[in-house]
Amino acid sequence: MPPAESDENSAHCELGYGQGLSINIHAAATQGKYFDTDFNPSHAAHANELCTASKCGAKFFDDSFEEMLHRDDLPQFDSISLHGIWSWISEENQAHIVEFARKFLKPGGVFYNSYNCYPGWSPGAPLRELFILHDKYAHKSSKTFNRVEEALKFTEELLNKNPAYFQRVPDVKNVFNTARKLSHDYLAHEYFNRDWICMYFSEVAEILQAAKLDFACTTEIVETLDNYNFSQDNLAFINGIENSIMREQIKDYFRNRQFRKDIYIRGARRLPEFERVERILSTNYVLMTKDKFPQSVAVPAGNVTLTENVAEKIYNYLAAEDYAPKNFKAFLEKNPDISKATMFQAIVLLMRNGNIMPCQSEVTIQHVKPYCVNLNKYICKRAYDSDDLQFLANPVTGGGFPLTKMERVFLAAEYEGITGVDELANYAWKIFSARGLSLVKAGKSLNGAEENLAEFKNMAQSFTENRLPILKALQII
């Protein structure tokens, strides 16, 4: 996760990139050099396959964190990222990561860390221990699905016996009922990993101080604004706490937070409020959907109502000129009745809701667009036979953009110069029929070319009217 605006000389690293889709999207959609590792060689092979498609030049290793720490061919990094890795590794590997950040992160560099945390995980921790206990000592099958199912059935039987612990901590039953509905693959990762360390925010912050890292903020933008997260009474209590680490930790008790997405900076400097607002207003933003803005947006403290007149004006402003990105300084000049405070609130809420996103500079967009198109063509062609890659690289925002399998097939046709509703429908039916597939509508498989083509035309019409204009504004095509 690079800083807001990288340049070609910047360098970034992700530790534990999994299948490598998100890091390849960032490597294609932002400027800079990428050096990343995941201990699983099959993950590295897949990540390099995506990188070959985009031609972005990122480096993907299968080193351990310790091996990565001792490499002598790495630059000083502008950002180091961990997506959900911290909680599922040993204390020894956590120590390697801290030392890696101390050794390789530049002053002013960004360290991103997402992880499970207390107190929200308190009911889930003993439940996880039950799963691990059964899997370690009592499982009968070697297949992951069966092992997970056996542990679930054992735990369910134990809960039905109503032990004293579960009488005193009744929320465990709710956590179990929620877990029972999740996929076995997800449960195997989340609950059955042998290495699992859940921490309080304050513990993580203290550990990272060894790498000279200062907590900056969460990546959930609305959670940086306390009045959207806490009642006035609770906020008065929180603001009475002088120490910043303790104050942030107490917020987790009010929120019962079980997962954090935190940004640390090596040498954090706080911007004055005026400068912060000016930077936000001067940034270009783009619509992420043609849907009209909602009248209210859900935040932790409840629902916040957007002034309908302001929301409509913002939408019309961003929708003009074929949805081209725009900044809000020009908007405010045209609408002097709207204050900067109101505008700032609207930006935060609309970003929270996924209606708008900030944009990169035009220089960066044009630099990365070829890599994004290369990667997106590969992802769209892969949709013919798989639904495993559901995000495309977005050169305008520098992040990912989700599309359904059918939308990706239509976009593959657009990349080949095939346009128009009938042409897109014929293209999709050719792909499906060659594989012996047909569409399913209302739970029923459609029969023959006529029925399938009629439904493909409906889908292509929706894609052309609702998605294609946004894809063009985002320069995905």
Pairing of strands 105-118, 391-394: unpaired
Do 83 and 212 reside in the same domain of the chain?
yes
Residue 79 backbone phi and psi in degrees, to 5? -150, 145
Closest CA to 314 of 341, 279, 285: 285
Instruction: Name the amino acid, one letter, at 23.
Output: I
Do 152 and 258 reside in the same domain of the chain?
no
Question: Does residue 272 sit within a domain?
Answer: no
pTM for the whole thing? 0.91
Per-residue pLDDT, 3? 44
Do 82 and 170 reside in the same domain of the chain?
no
Do 81 and 142 reside in the same domain of the chain?
no
Question: Does residue 278 sit within a domain?
Answer: no
Dihedral Cα 418, 419, 424, 427, nearest 10 deg: -10
User: Please, which residues have CB within 8 angstroms of residue 201's CB and are 6 or more apart in sequence?
Assistant: 117, 245, 248, 249, 252, 260, 262
Do 466 and 377 reside in the same domain of the chain?
yes
Dihedral Cα 428, 430, 432, 434, nearest 10 deg: -160
Pairing of strands 199-200, 440-441: unpaired
Question: Does residue 309 sit within a domain?
Answer: yes
Cis peptide before 325 (omega within 30 of 0): no
Do 66 and 214 reside in the same domain of the chain?
yes
Do 128 and 109 reside in the same domain of the chain?
no
Per-residue pLDDT, 431? 96
Question: Does residue 173 sit within a domain?
Answer: yes
Per-residue pLDDT, 308? 78
Per-residue pLDDT, 147? 93
Do 206 and 81 reside in the same domain of the chain?
yes
Closest CA to 200 of 280, 119, 273, 134: 119
Do 176 and 297 reside in the same domain of the chain?
no
Which CATH number characterizes residue 94's domain? Answer: 3.40.50.150
Looking at 358, 385, 409, which one is the last position of a domain? 358
* Side-chain-facing half-sphere of 69: CA atoms under 13 Å: 15
Rounded Cα distance, 150 and 140, in Å: 8
For the chain, how many structural domains are there in total?
A: 4
Looking at 315, 338, 358, which one is the last position of a domain? 358
Instruction: Give pLDDT tens digits along the chain (477 positions).
Output: 444 567 889 999 999 999 999 999 999 999 999 999 999 999 999 999 999 999 999 999 999 999 999 999 999 999 999 999 999 999 999 999 999 999 999 999 999 999 999 999 998 899 999 999 999 999 888 899 999 999 999 999 999 999 999 899 888 899 999 999 999 988 987 888 778 999 999 999 999 999 999 999 999 988 888 989 999 999 999 999 999 999 999 999 999 999 999 999 999 888 898 898 899 999 999 999 999 998 889 998 889 988 878 999 999 999 999 999 999 998 999 999 999 989 998 999 999 999 999 999 999 999 999 999 999 999 999 999 999 999 999 999 999 999 999 999 999 999 999 999 999 999 999 999 999 999 999 889 999 999 999 999 999 999 999 999 999 999 999
Question: Does residue 245 sit within a domain?
Answer: yes
Q: Domain residues for 155?
A: 124-191
Do 102 and 131 reside in the same domain of the chain?
no
The helix or strand, by DSSP H or E, that contains position 33, with its residue range, turns out to be strand 33-37
Question: Does residue 275 sit within a domain?
Answer: no
Rounded Cα distance, 314 and 188, in Å: 44
Looking at 149, 171, 191, which one is the last position of a domain? 191
Closest CA to 11 of 104, 84, 98, 83: 104
Question: Does residue 234 sit within a domain?
Answer: yes
Question: Does residue 70 sit within a domain?
Answer: yes
Do 433 and 396 reside in the same domain of the chain?
yes
Do 337 and 461 reside in the same domain of the chain?
no
